[in-house]
Structures are given as C-alpha cells and as structure tokens.
Amino acid sequence: MARKTGPVVPLGRDASSRLLPWVFTLMVYLASLSLASVLMLHGAADRWDRGEINAVTVQLLPLDDGSEAERIAQTLKLLRSTPGIAAARVLEISENMALLEPWLGEGDVLGELPLPRLIDVTLTPGETLDVEALSKTLAEAVPGVTVDDPKIWLNRLATLGRSLEAVAGAIVVLIASAAVATVIFITRMGLAVHQDIIELLHLIGARDSYVAYQFQSHALSVGLRGGLLGIAMAVGTLVGIRSAAERLDAPLLPDLSIEPWAWAAFAMVPLVTALIAMVTARITALRVLSRMP
Amino acid sequence: MVRFENVGMRYGMGPEVLHDLSFSLKPGDFRYLLGPSGAGKSSLMRLLYLAHRPSRGLVTMFDTDISTASRKTLASLRRRIGVVFQEFRLLNHLSALDNVALPLRVAGAREDQVREHVAELLAWVGLAEHLHVRPATLSGGQKQRVAIARAVITRPQLLLADEPTGNLDQALGLRLMHLFEELNKIGTTVVIATHNENLVASRPHPALRLTAGELGATVTLPATG
C-alpha cells in the first residue's frame, strides 16, 4: 500500500506555523462579524433612505371641551379609510402611563398630567404612506391631531447607518491587510528557517515555482482550516445575536436579519481568506527566491 | 560538456579561493579531484554543481554560460547533474524512499514510476528493508547509500561525488565505484572528490589535483596491488 508522502518543506512543524491557524480563526471571526454588520447596516440604511416605515403614531392633544371620544372615533375612521394603513389602535391610558413611567416614575403625578392620547397605526407592508398628506387631512378634519413624521429621524438614522457601514467595511479591509502582513511575515520566516532545504531543492533542479508551491499549499491549507473554524464561530455568534434580538421588544432596533444570499457570502469568507493567503505566500516566496544567488 | 577558462571564485567580498582554473570535461570522462583539505575541492565542486557562479572567468556547462544563465536555466541544468554531498544533505523528516524520489518529483515524474524506480534502486544499494525509514535511524553508511541513490536516480549526465565512499566498508565502497563506472560507461561524466588515494590507485582514472586553489596538471595514479 502506498504511504502518504509528507510535505517536502516541513512548515507545519514551525512554531510560527502552528499559531497561524488560530490567527486565521480570529481574523476570519472578526472579519465575518464586521461583514455581517456591513450587510445588516446596508439593508437597514437602504430602508431608512427610502423612508420605509411600518408604523406611525398619531397624537391627539388634550382639549378641555370633552370632545376626546368623538375626536378619537373620527380620527380612527379617517385612518382606517386611508390607503396603506393596515390597522389603527388607540393606546389605553394605562399604556401611555407605562411609556412615561421610566422617566417620571410611578405615582399620582402621572394621573394629573394632561396626557395626549396615542393611536398606533400599522402600515400595510409593501405600500407607501404619504405621511404629510395624512397629517394635513387629519389636521383639517380633527382639532388637536398631529402625526409624528418619522422621516426626519429616519434620515439621521440613514446617515448614521451609512457611517457605521463604512467603518465596518474599513475594519474588514484592515483585517484582510493584517492577514496579508501575517502571511508575508510567516512565509519570510519559513524561507529563512528552511534555507538548507530550499538550497538542496534548488541544487537538485527545483524551480522557484516548485519551492513557492510548498509555501502556497501550506498557506492554503492553514487558511482553510483557520477560516472554517472562524466562520463557524461567527455564524454561532450571529445566530445568538439574532435570537436575542428577536426576544427583545424594541421597535426602534433595526431589522438584524441577514438575507439568504448574505449567508452564501459568509460561506465564501474562508475560501476567499485561504485564497488571499495562498496568493500572498506565493508572491512573497517568489520575490524572496528571486533575490537568491 | 564542462569548460572552465581562467576561472576565479570568492565567497562574497572574501579572498579568492580558486585562481585561474582552466580545464574541460567531455561526455564520458571520469575524473578524480584530489587535494589536501583547504585546497578548494569543495569550492570547485560548488561551481560544478551550480551552487555558485564564478567571480571571474568563463564557466560553460552543457553549452551554457553560467555567469549569465537565468535562474530557470540553472534549474534545468541542475536536473542534468547528480550530486553526492559529503554531509549527505538528506531531509530528516522524509523517508529514505521520499529522499531518493525527490529529484524525480521535482522534475515532475509520474508517481507510480517514481515509487517503482526508487524502490528498485534502494534495493540495489542494499536498503530494500529501509524504504520507509527516516535518515535519523540509519547508520552513516546507510545514509551515504541513500545520498548516492538520490544522486543517480535521474541518470544524470554529470555525476559529482564528494568523498562518496568515506563511510562505507571496502566491499561496498568498491561496489559503488563499480556503479559509478557503469554509469560512466553509458556516457555519464563522473567527478569524484576524494582523499582516498588507495581508492584512486585501485580504480585508475585521470585525476585533477588542486593545491591552494590552483589546478596542477591532470595525472593518472599508477594502479596498485
């Protein structure tokens, strides 16, 4: 039976090479999380840019004329007849107070305050609502009604989202650069440590490309092993974050879900990392070898 | 095949260790390289196996000027040269079989042929039972035989050996000299650097004698015993 032939240059036995898979694991893990941030922020920023919202809040300011019930009914009627609105629900006084409790505390002071009545309006998915037109219609028909226009803070959120997206993208680039620098360093060190073997290979007729192949195949293997472990850890972390976000009742949080195509992009991360490592090792080895006598 | 004209050699910026060497080797030549320690035999061998380029003068090997040859060309030329290094230079992390197979694999030979030829040659040098043994567990003589097998596995046109029989008993030494002579008969040019004047005398061939980096006249020692 044919025995397995070991690598001609025993790079796997070097102390530095033994650490390399863990370095790759960490880099792929961090790069994947940054990439996930980019993808999530990109989707959210797009939605914010387009002004896509799924709910608005209508406020009825308190008036002393005892017309609140009538105004609420009138407002609900108008809202329910407006295209793009799926549902409209009046928040109970107790719900209003619950919203304020974190700031004002429990006590009689809340009962004494003239609180506005709030109507939670759910929009029909896929349809757009002209908030300005709705605001105008309601204001003409019902006294003391205002509609919170979320576009102002959506624009600010979109700007913030784009900035964070750029930062996360820069982090991915920095991590990739660090990976390239690490491979260059490890390859140069390997060439120095195994100088005797490399000279012997040259003396028996090996071309530089044959020697470089030893380094590039090692880098590919290490990159793949480290990358697969790193992506597995990153996927675990993202699933954990998503599951935690789903349990949170926080409507202001952006949608943290990742599209199916993005998961496919994640699967490419270890492969791309390993390819970058391989090409870097090859170019480095060929450049160093070309300077040898 | 090999032509040296007024060749000088130095290591880096150091003093010249070889001076004005001029000689030539034709296909099928058999030469001993003699001289005391420090005479420059190893340096001349390094020039011959293309580990060094000359500092001055002209070295032509296989009709190629070595001073101006590209790295790629040098690699091709080295595949036509087999070398038995004095210190063996075996790779300790590879088996005897993989060490001997290295020149074939470097040249891109098919793996099934590699294993067959290597196993056959190792059996011939008496190491059939040691194919998968690593050099660290072999004796000096066994390592030398692995090194010799590696040098001849590609049937080189030029075979260079530095003290090839130094660690072998007389019988095995003579057997390996017989192998070199058989290769020589089929056209391989052989150069053997040695201190062993008994060996040289028992298997007479012309000898190049180096003294303090300079080459004397080619001589043939008289046969003994």
Whole-number average pLDDT of chain B? 89
In chain A, residues with a C-beta closer than 8 Å to the C-beta of B83 are 203-204
User: Which of A95-109, A138-152, A163-177, B145-159 has the weakest average pLDDT?
Assistant: A95-109
Cβ separation of B75 and A203 shorter than 8 Å?
A: no
Residue A246 has pLDDT above 90, yes or no: no
User: Which of A114-118, B27-31, B37-41, B190-194 has the weakest average pLDDT?
Assistant: A114-118
In a mutagenesis test of the B interface, which of A1, A198, A204 is the best target, namely the one with the most B β-carbons within 10 Å? A204
Give the closest-approach CA distance of B13 to chain A in angstroms: 14
* Per-domain residue ranges of chain A: 11-49+154-290, 55-149
**In terms of pLDDT, which residue wins out, B168 or B15?**
B15
pLDDT at B75: 95
Residue A251 has pLDDT above 70, yes or no: no
Six-digit token string for A194: 């195994």
Cβ separation of B106 and A290 shorter than 8 Å?
A: no
Cβ(A51)–Cβ(A154) below 8 Å: yes
What is the pLDDT averaged over residues B190-207? 85
- Alpha carbon distance B84, B159 (integer Å): 8
The ipTM of this complex is: 0.90
Give the neighbor-by-neighbor strand order of the sheet with A55-60. Answer: A85-90, A117-123, A55-60, A145-147
What is chain B's alpha carbon radius of gyration, rounded to the nearest angstrom? 17
The 10s digit of each residue's pLDDT in B87-114 is 889 999 999 999 999 999 999 899 888 9
Instruction: State whether residue A5 sits within 8 Å of chain B by CB.
Output: yes
Give the closest-approach CA distance of A173 to chain B in angstroms: 36
pLDDT band at residue A86 using 50, 70 and 90 as cut-offs? confident
Q: Residues of chain B whose C-beta is under 8 A from some C-beta in A?
A: 49-53, 71-72, 75-76, 78-79, 81, 83, 89, 91, 93-95, 98, 101-103, 105-107, 111, 115, 132, 150
Residue B53: C-alpha distances to residues A275, B45, B56, B157, B195 (Å)? 37, 12, 9, 20, 25
CATH number belonging to domain A55-149: 3.30.70.3040
Query: Helix %, strand %, coil % for chain A, to 5?
Result: 70, 10, 25
For tokens 């290295």, name the residue.
B102
Cβ separation of A202 and B78 shorter than 8 Å?
A: yes
pLDDT at B173: 77
Q: What is the residue type of A92?
A: E
Residue B57: C-alpha distances to residues A162, A229, B22, B123 (Å)? 68, 58, 9, 43
Cβ separation of A3 and B78 shorter than 8 Å?
A: no
- Alpha carbon distance A180, B212 (integer Å): 50
For tokens 């472990």, name the residue.
A229
The 10s digit of each residue's pLDDT in A213-235 is 999 999 999 999 999 999 999 98
- Alpha carbon distance A142, A61 (integer Å): 11
- Alpha carbon distance B202, B75 (integer Å): 35
What is the pLDDT averaged over residues B121-149? 91
pTM summary value: 0.76
Give the closest-approach CA distance of A6 to chain B in angstroms: 7
In chain B, residues with a C-beta closer than 8 Å to the C-beta of A195 are none
- Alpha carbon distance B209, B34 (integer Å): 5
Cβ separation of B78 and A205 shorter than 8 Å?
A: yes
- Alpha carbon distance B139, B88 (integer Å): 12
**In terms of pLDDT, which residue wins out, A6 or A9?**
A9
pLDDT at B150: 95
Residue A277 has pLDDT above 60, yes or no: yes
Cβ(B48)–Cβ(B9) below 8 Å: no
In chain B, the DSSP E strands lie at: 2-10, 16-25, 30-34, 56-61, 64-65, 81-84, 158-162, 189-193, 206-211, 214-215, 219-220
Q: What is the residue type of B15?
A: P
Residue B35, phi then psi, degrees to nearest 5: 150, 155
What is the pLDDT averaged over residues A150-161? 77
Give the closest-approach CA distance of B224 to chain A in angstroms: 36
Cβ separation of A205 and B93 shorter than 8 Å?
A: no
- Alpha carbon distance B69, A66 (integer Å): 103
- The closest alpha carbon to A223, from A163, A282, A168, A166, belongs to A282
Residue A1 has pLDDT above 50, yes or no: no
pLDDT at B225: 41
